[in-house]
Amino acid sequence: MLQSVCSRYDIERFGCLFRGTPRQAELLLVAGTVTTKMAPGMKKLQELMAKPAYTLAMGSCAGGGGYYYYSYSIIRGVDRIIPVDSYIGGCPPSAEGLLYGIIVLQKKICP
């Protein structure tokens, strides 16, 4: 994720700027495994975001549970909690994958 901000990929060309507060953000990047303890907080975070809010699941852990799929405390995909607009594959996902996911999301928003 940090590599996509650097000069080689420069994610800001596509209008994506990382913000620290949910009230100013429109895109939620879910990176990593989601536990049952985190689920209510993540749902509340998505509700606090500015509307329209979009969600991007990054990596196999966020998309489907990853290596910890059979653990009792892991949610098998973030789409069971909040609606996901685009998925990025890989473990770990590459910077090219993140850029591609954002471009696909932009094409969904304004065709």
- Give the domain range for residue 75: 20-91
How confident is the model over 85-99, as pLDDT tens digits? 989 888 888 888 888
3-class secondary structure per residue, 44-81? HHHHHCCCCCEEEEEHHHHHHCHHHCCCCCECCCHHHC
Q: Give 40-56 pLDDT, tens digit per residue.
A: 999 998 998 888 889 99
CATH code: domain of residue 74: 3.40.50.12280
State the pLDDT at residue 76.
Answer: 87
- The whole-angstrom separation of Cα 63 and Cα 80 is 10
Contact between 44 and 28 under an 8 Å Cβ cutoff? The reply is: no
**Residue 97 in domain:** no
pLDDT of residue 82: 92
Mean pLDDT, residues 28-42 taken together: 90
Interval 57-84: pLDDT, tens? 988 888 887 778 888 889 888 999 999 9
Cα 50 vs. chain centroid, distance in angstroms?
16
Tokens 């549970």 belong to residue: 65
